[in-house]
Structure 1
Amino acid sequence: MAEARGYRVLWHRGGVKAAWQPHRGAITLRLGMTDTATVCSLAHELGHAHHGDPPGHYGPMELRADRFAARLLVSPVEYALAETQYGPHPARLAAELGVTVKVLKTWQTLHQKELAS
């Protein structure tokens, strides 16, 4: 998806998990993370790229990128199936869906707001 949108994906050692570098049109990811952490970090940074965020993000931009990642990575159908099978346990659901607990909880919050609307 990143490359389809014209962004380069680069790798770095040490430091932050991931970063959107608009001046390079690139997202960098730290080597050595788990697959789940890598995918979730990439999705989060895609959120920054999608919204044209500058470097040095702050609160509202971070929340918006978290929401973008949650929408991108969690399918309502797959979530419902996992919850039916495993119950409401966030860590188990996140593992089953291949996302971090943070992404899962962000998705749950978004979904609850949509249901309330």
Structure 2
Amino acid sequence: MTNVKTVCAFAHELGHATMRHTSSIFSYINARQERAADEWAAHFLIDVDEYRHAEAKYGTRTDWIGQELGVLDRLVVAFERSLHRIGDTIYVNPKMGSGQCNARYSA
């Protein structure tokens, strides 16, 4: 495996361990756990400011953004999935309630 794949796979598995995932007989639960581990790994490896610069540079090309950030494009997609834009503000991993998000940035 390449260094990028190795680092991304290790971060993904750290996500499983951190969230204490266990294998299930239901495929939709396994799929949900895989998405959650990818999102955890994406936030572990991707800095928001670096992502912002790469996105400004490459637009919607997740493969190029991933190459710029040194991660797999699958993790870039997972990172983008966890961002929510409301008006001119971007929230990282928002929860229900005022002020319950990991970070907030002006767009």
| TM-score strictly above 0.5 | yes
For structure 1, the 5+ residue unaligned runs are 1-32
CA distance in 2 between partners of 1:85 and 1:113 (Å): 19
CA distance in 2 between partners of 1:108 and 1:42 (Å): 20
CA distance in 1 between partners of 2:52 and 2:37 (Å): 23
Which shifted more, 73-82 or 51-60?
A: 51-60
Residue 50 (1) aligns with residue 18 (2)? yes
SS at match of 2:64: helix
- CA positional deviation for 1:63: 1.6
- CA positional deviation for 1:87: 2.7
CA distance in 2 between partners of 1:63 and 1:88 (Å): 20
Residue in 2 that maps onto 1:64: 36
Residue 99 (1) aligns with residue 71 (2)? yes
Change (3 A) 1:59 1:113: farther
From 5, 11, 34, the equivalent of 2:2 is 34
SS at match of 2:83: helix
Number of positions where the alignment pairs a residue of Structure 1 with one of Structure 2: 85
1:85 maps to a residue whose letter is K
Root mean square deviation of aligned Cα: 2.1
2:82 maps to a residue whose letter is L
Give percent identity, aligned residues only.
Answer: 33
For structure 2, the 5+ residue unaligned runs are 95-107
1:93 maps to a residue whose letter is I
Encode CA deviations 1:51-89: one digit per residue, 9 max, x unaligned: 122356812221211111111111110001112223321
SS at match of 1:58: helix
CA distance in 1 between partners of 2:35 and 2:58 (Å): 28
Contact 2:21 2:33 in 1 (8 A): yes
